[in-house]
């Protein structure tokens, strides 16, 4: 329910956009609203009234008096602009529907405050506001500079062309005002358009730069590390291992400071976020695919983070298996009795998982090939999770049966 309520600003933005685009077109070209526009008018009005009411109902009881007054004002404003103008009175009243343009800015502000304004949503809303602004300027130009002797579509395209060239201060001069009202309007558009265009370009540029901020920081970190090892004449094999580990680590994480990013949060919130960091790893493992999000979250809660240096033993042959390991960073080797490598387990893979279902002894040694970060899931925790989520044991049993068939084949 909360997710549906949080989606109302985007729905409001889309409905307001439709109304603002539709209104001047009806006035200029249709003159009278068709049945389709009348039905859509009522639908959009009822939808906006419903969404505005939901937003008002969803306000927090602890909000300050000034904030409640602000919300009440916007609620009243949106309810008024949501009335089906054009049906309830003379046609010129449809221009009151243009007040819904403010709903776009309100949606942008609400999404920003709720921290639900992702980059795609932000770009979409900025682009939507810009396109509708161009549309309104073009329709206003048709009002102050009527074009006769051409079709409606040609007149609208020419007005759009004039709006774009004027707002971007390009101004080729092939379409010019022929009266004082047109000249005044053109000067107003040129002055405001320059600022609006600059703001829009600046916002989009900031979004693009913010997207690559962590990647750029990671690149600089790798360059500094390379210079460090070159200065101290680090052996080539160690340099390759260090750079490989660090590059792989950054490839799988947002930055090298994932933990530091959330370090200022309360311990409880940090713990919750760490669970989702672990879920990103286990969700990609075949043995956990198809499990519910609740089950994956429970598994992530029980995972214990461990680190091993090169040569450390994770699993010793002949011991009773009581745990499995998920490889987060680095590589581990599965060795036979002669010390030869049978297999290499890398990031995103697991080892020792069959011990969680059987009482069999370990059949091989597993050692860290290089520095490794792993997560451990014990048999006790596995059994406890399986009691609450039978789907976990069923998934493991299917994999075990498949492996037995593969070995027999």
For the stretch 184-219, pLDDT in tens is 988 888 888 777 777 777 777 776 666 566 667 777
- pLDDT attached to residue 4: 45
- pLDDT attached to residue 1: 41
The two three-digit tokens of residue 406, written as one number: 């593969």
Q: Is the pLDDT of residue 366 over 90?
A: yes
Q: Which tops the pLDDT comparison, 62 or 353?
A: 353
User: Could you give the CA distance from residue 21 to residue 128 in angstroms, rounded to a whole number?
Assistant: 11
- pLDDT attached to residue 41: 65
| CA-CA-CA-CA torsion sign (21, 22, 26, 30) | positive
| Residues 7-41: tens digit of each pLDDT | 666 777 777 777 777 778 777 776 555 566 666 66
Cα–Cα distances in angstroms (integers) from residue 29 to residues 90, 97, 301, 313, in the given order: 17, 17, 62, 79
Q: What percent of the chain has pLDDT over 70?
A: 71
Nearest alpha carbon to residue 22 among 100, 78, 75? 100
Q: Is the pLDDT of residue 261 over 80?
A: no
First to last CA, the chain: 51
Q: Which residue has the tokens 């040694």?
A: 365
- pLDDT attached to residue 150: 85
Q: What percent of the chain has pLDDT over 90?
A: 5
| Residues 140-175: tens digit of each pLDDT | 898 888 888 888 888 888 998 998 888 877 777 788
pTM of the model: 0.49
- pLDDT attached to residue 356: 78
| Residues 95-115: tens digit of each pLDDT | 677 777 777 677 666 666 655
Q: Which tops the pLDDT comparison, 158 or 52?
A: 158
Cα–Cα distances in angstroms (integers) from residue 253 to residues 8, 188, 248, 250, 285, in the given order: 32, 49, 9, 5, 17
């Amino acid at each position: 329910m909360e997710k549906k309520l949080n989606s109302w600003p985007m729905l409001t933005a889309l409905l307001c956009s439709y109304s603002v685009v539709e209104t001047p077109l009806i006035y200029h070209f249709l003159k009278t609203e068709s049945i389709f526009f009348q039905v859509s008018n009522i639908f959009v009005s009822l939808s906006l009234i419903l969404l505005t009411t939901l937003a008002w109902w969803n306000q927090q009881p602890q909000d300050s008096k000034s904030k409640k007054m602000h919300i009440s004002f916007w609620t009243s404003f949106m309810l008024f602009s949501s009335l089906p103008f054009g049906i309830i009175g003379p046609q010129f009243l449809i221009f009151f529907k243009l007040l819904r343009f403010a709903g776009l800015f309100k949606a942008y502000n609400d999404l920003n405050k709720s921290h639900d304004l992702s980059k795609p949503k932000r770009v979409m809303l900025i682009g939507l506001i810009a396109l509708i602004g161009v549309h309104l300027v073009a329709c206003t130009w048709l009002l102050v500079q009527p074009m006769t002797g051409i079709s409606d579509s040609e007149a609208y395209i020419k007005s759009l062309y004039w709006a774009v060239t004027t707002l971007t201060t390009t101004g080729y001069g092939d379409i010019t005002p022929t009266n004082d009202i047109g000249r005044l309007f053109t000067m107003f558009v040129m002055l405001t358009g320059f600022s609006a265009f600059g703001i829009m370009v600046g916002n989009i540029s900031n979004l693009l730069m913010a997207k690559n901020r962590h990647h750029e920081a990671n690149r600089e970190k790798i360059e500094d590390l390379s210079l460090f090892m070159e200065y101290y004449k680090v052996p080539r094999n160690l340099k390759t291992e260090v750079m490989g580990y660090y590059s792989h680590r950054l490839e799988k994480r947002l930055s090298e400071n994932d933990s530091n990013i959330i370090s200022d949060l309360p311990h409880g919130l940090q713990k919750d976020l760490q669970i989702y960091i672990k879920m990103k790893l286990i969700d990609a493992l075949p043995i956990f695919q198809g499990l519910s999000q609740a089950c994956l979250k429970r598994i992530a809660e029980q995972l214990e983070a461990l680190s091993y240096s090169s040569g450390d033993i994770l699993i010793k042959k002949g011991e009773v298996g009581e745990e499995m390991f998920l490889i987060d960073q680095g590589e581990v080797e599965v060795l036979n009795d002669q010390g030869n490598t049978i297999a290499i387990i890398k990031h995103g893979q697991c080892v020792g998982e069959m011990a969680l279902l059987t009482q069999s002894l370990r059949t091989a040694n597993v050692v860290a090939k290089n520095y490794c970060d792993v997560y451990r899931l014990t048999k006790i925790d596995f059994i406890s999770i399986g009691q609450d989520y039978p789907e976990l044991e069923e998934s493991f049993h299917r994999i075990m049966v498949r492996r037995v068939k593969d070995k027999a084949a």
